[in-house]
Amino acid sequence: MLMGKCRSVIRNIRDKNNFRKDLLKFKESSIDGKMPIKEIVPILTDKYKAAGTIDEHYFLQDIYVAKKVIEANPEKHYDIGSRIDGFISHLLLFLNRVIMIDIRPLPQKIEGLDFVQGDATNLTSIRDNSIESLSSLHAVEHFGLGRYGDEINPEACFLAMKSMQRVIRGGAFCI
């Protein structure tokens, strides 16, 4: 354990020295030789990290389910509360119409995404048996906890599942 700690300290010193050298090199090669030192934030550990990070659980789930929805090729796909920066963004590349429902507001306008701010425990704005494709990835189990500004309700996840059953058309794609 002591050897590991020593290696870490030595690497830290080496990284700081390398950062100083790189900073001087960068300053010398800049157009006017000036550099706003106060604005520099040294990040010394990136060179030891992988080429990107993947939360395997969400990443693999988003890819797998997006592929299934895209293969089904629905005219419209509805989603309740899934990740925009993962699953929804994958769908937007291939589907003409994605409708996302979330209790929280979405301040950004995203091309190809119709956003509906609503409560999935009742889905009152959607007719019975009207949806041909519906998903909700890692969202429903959080309903009723107050985490998203929703009301505390231990039955909320069950109400949402009943609402989804009500609006999904028989034989439709639901995940």
84 shares a domain with 27: no
Instruction: Indicate whether 99 and 18 sit together in one domain.
Output: no
Alpha carbon separation from 158 to 80, 110, 141, 142, 143 (Å, rounded)? 14, 30, 9, 11, 9
For residues 65 and 43, state if they share a domain: no
CB 93 within 8 A of CB 111: no
| Whether residues 67 and 32 fall in one domain | no
Torsion sign across C-alpha atoms 96, 81, 153, 105: negative
Q: Say yes or no: 69 and 41 in one domain.
A: no
Q: Are residues 89 and 169 in the same domain?
A: yes
Per-residue model confidence (pLDDT) at position 167: 97
DSSP labels for 112-163? TEEEEE--TTT-TTS-TT-EEEEE--S-GGGTTSSTTSPPP-TTHHHHHHHH
pLDDT given at position 3: 61
**Residue at which a domain ends, from 31, 48, 65:** 48
| Residue type for position 64 | Y
- Domain tally, the chain: 2
**Whose CA is closest to 137, among 56, 59, 81, 97?**
81
Count of CB atoms situated within 10 Å of the CB of 137: 20
Does one domain contain both 99 and 21?
no
Q: Which of 48, 66, 82 is the last residue of a domain?
A: 48
Domain check: are 25 and 81 in the same one? no
Predicted local distance difference test score (pLDDT) of residue 21: 80
Give the residue from 48, 70, 85 where a domain finishes. Answer: 48
**For residue 86, what pLDDT is reported?**
92
87 lies in the same domain as 133: yes
Q: What pLDDT score was predicted for residue 174?
A: 67
Pair 159, 119: CB distance under 8 Å: no
Q: Return the CATH number at 66.
A: 3.40.50.150
pLDDT per residue, tens digit, the chain (175 aa), is 556 666 766 676 777 777 778 777 777 776 776 666 677 777 777 777 788 778 778 899 999 999 999 999 999 999 999 999 999 999 999 999 999 999 999 999 999 999 999 999 999 999 999 999 999 999 999 999 999 989 999 999 999 999 999 999 987 766 6
What's the token pair of residue 26?
A: 């960068």
Q: Residue 124 sits in which domain range? A: 56-174
Question: Both 114 and 36 in a single domain?
Answer: no
Tell me the three state secondary structure of residue 55.
coil
Q: Are 89 and 156 within one domain? A: yes
Closest CA to 134 of 56, 157, 63, 87: 87
Instruction: Provide the token pair at 54.
Output: 């993947």
